[in-house]
Amino acid sequence: MRRDPPRGPRPPGGGDPWRREGAGDERRPGRERTDDRPGERARPERATPERGPREPGNAGPWAGRGDDRNPRNEDRNRGGEPARGRDTPWRERAPQAPRGAERSGAVHPRSEHPRSEHARPSRPPRDDAQGYQVGERLDEAQLQAEAAPRRARDLELRLYGLNAVRAAFARRPQAIRKLYLTEARIPALQPLLAWCVAHRVGYRVVEEGDLDKLAASSHHEGVVADVLREEVGSLSTWLRDLPAGPQAALWLDGVGNPHNLGAILRAAAHFGVSAVLLPKHSPLALSGAAARVAEGGAEAVPMVRLGREDNAIAQLHGAGFALAATVVHGGGDLFATALPERLVYVIGAEGEGMDRELAAACDLRLSIPGSGAVESLNVASATAVFLAAWAARKRG
């Protein structure tokens, strides 16, 4: 049985401990041949140059390859620092504090760097029963986060104004998502606060100046609420669900001012208008300012989106409605004209008026007679007069 020679220290001069004297090649101990085998042919001995010390600055043929796979890498095999080239995976690690240094009061090197000034501010503790922390003044970062545009902006509406918020709560409380109010408004909004507590809707008592920033207006009346927008219905659905009998609707052609829209909604709610009709491509939509001016009327009058103009007119005619174009001059006297029971007033933009083609397609042309001291009424005021005339005919 053949035994491997013991491994001794490497001889000086870079010699190989596994090379036997007189052997012609370099083999592992278990595979080397003996000279006393019969019939074996001796091989000439190859000259192997001795390995001297590496010259300074000479990294060898493996320098700069980014790895340490050289089997002859003496430094790596001996536990020394490996040769580092470009993109080498052997990176120098930053010095770390010994274990237990934090407990003993030593400072970790990374803790010496100052904290970023953009660090997220700490949030106040949350009360699970009542939603958000009550009585804390919002800091600037929180106000920006609350007032910044959100991805759900097309799904949510920021209401402000006491009557606007009360109307939303009375008609669809499940749409309320968040509430902000001043301390002075707590007695007036006790039912709403109790509902928020029962349904785990967050609310916060804040300062007057915080509401100014949240509502982007000083006319918030001490309360701001985020609510889900109500979907705009279609004309066919509205006509299908509309009861028989006298009905009035408003076709807004070009009205864009939110305060005018709010005033129109307020008058429409007062006189019992069934719907506000919006043209197919009209950008008009309910805003917080319009809802505040409407004083709750935005929740009482639904908005309906029309399709193509000629199809919408045909559908309205089929449901028994007559269309009346409201014009400043050249129309019939509103107070002397017999108004139909089912009527759609077409209201044009203030100053520009309504579209001529649409006016030509209407069944009536009506004007409000006046003294002539002023050219005309504001569009919201004129709408209220038209609606009052229709309501008087319905009662008489």
The set of residues, in sequence order, having a beta carbon less than 8 Å from that of 272 and lying 6+ positions away, is 248, 391
- Which segment of 69-83, 140-154, 158-172 scores lowest on mean pLDDT? 69-83
Instruction: Give the residue with greater pLDDT, 396 vs 333.
Output: 333
Confidence (pTM): 0.63
Instruction: Give the residue with greater pLDDT, 73 vs 226.
Output: 226
- Which segment of 106-115, 321-330, 369-378 scores lowest on mean pLDDT? 106-115
Complete DSSP assignment for 106-141: PPPGGGGSPPPTTPPPPPPPPBTTTBSPSSPPP-HH
Q: Same CATH topology for 140-228 and 233-395?
A: no
> How far, in Å, CA of 67 to CA of 85, rounded?
8
One-letter amino acid at 312 equals A
The reply to whether CATH 3.40.1280.10 applies to domain 233-395 is yes
> How far, in Å, CA of 195 to CA of 191, rounded?
6
**What is the CB neighbour count within 10 angstroms for residue 139?**
13
Structure confidence at residue 237 (pLDDT): 96
Helix (H) or strand (E) holding 365: strand 364-367
The reply to whether CATH 3.30.1330.30 applies to domain 140-228 is yes
Query: Is 60 exceeded by the pLDDT of residue 146?
Result: no
- Which segment of 14-23, 114-123, 302-311 scores lowest on mean pLDDT? 114-123
Using CA atoms, how far residue 59 sits from 53, 74, 76, 116, 264, in Å, is: 12, 11, 13, 42, 86
Span 85-97, pLDDT tens digits: 444 444 555 555 5
When mean pLDDT is compared over 93-97, 287-291, 374-378, the highest value belongs to 287-291
The set of residues, in sequence order, having a beta carbon less than 8 Å from that of 299 and lying 6+ positions away, is 167, 168, 170, 171, 172
> How far, in Å, CA of 198 to CA of 129, rounded?
8
Structure confidence at residue 156 (pLDDT): 93
Structure confidence at residue 32 (pLDDT): 47
pLDDT band at 222 (very low <50, low <70, confident <90, very high): very high
Contact at 8 Å (CB) between 343 and 248? Answer: yes
Contact at 8 Å (CB) between 323 and 346? Answer: yes
Query: Is 80 exceeded by the pLDDT of residue 110?
Result: no
∠ CA(352), CA(390), CA(363), 5° rounding? 55
Mean pLDDT of the chain: 77
Span 29-69, pLDDT tens digits: 544 444 445 555 555 556 555 565 555 555 455 554 444 45
Span 263-283, pLDDT tens digits: 999 999 999 999 999 999 999
**Hey, where are the domains in the chain?**
140-228, 233-395
> How far, in Å, CA of 291 to CA of 287, rounded?
6
φ, ψ for residue 373, nearest 5 deg: -65, -30
Choose among 376, 167, 162, 387: nearest CA to 264: 387
% of residues, the chain, pLDDT over 90: 54
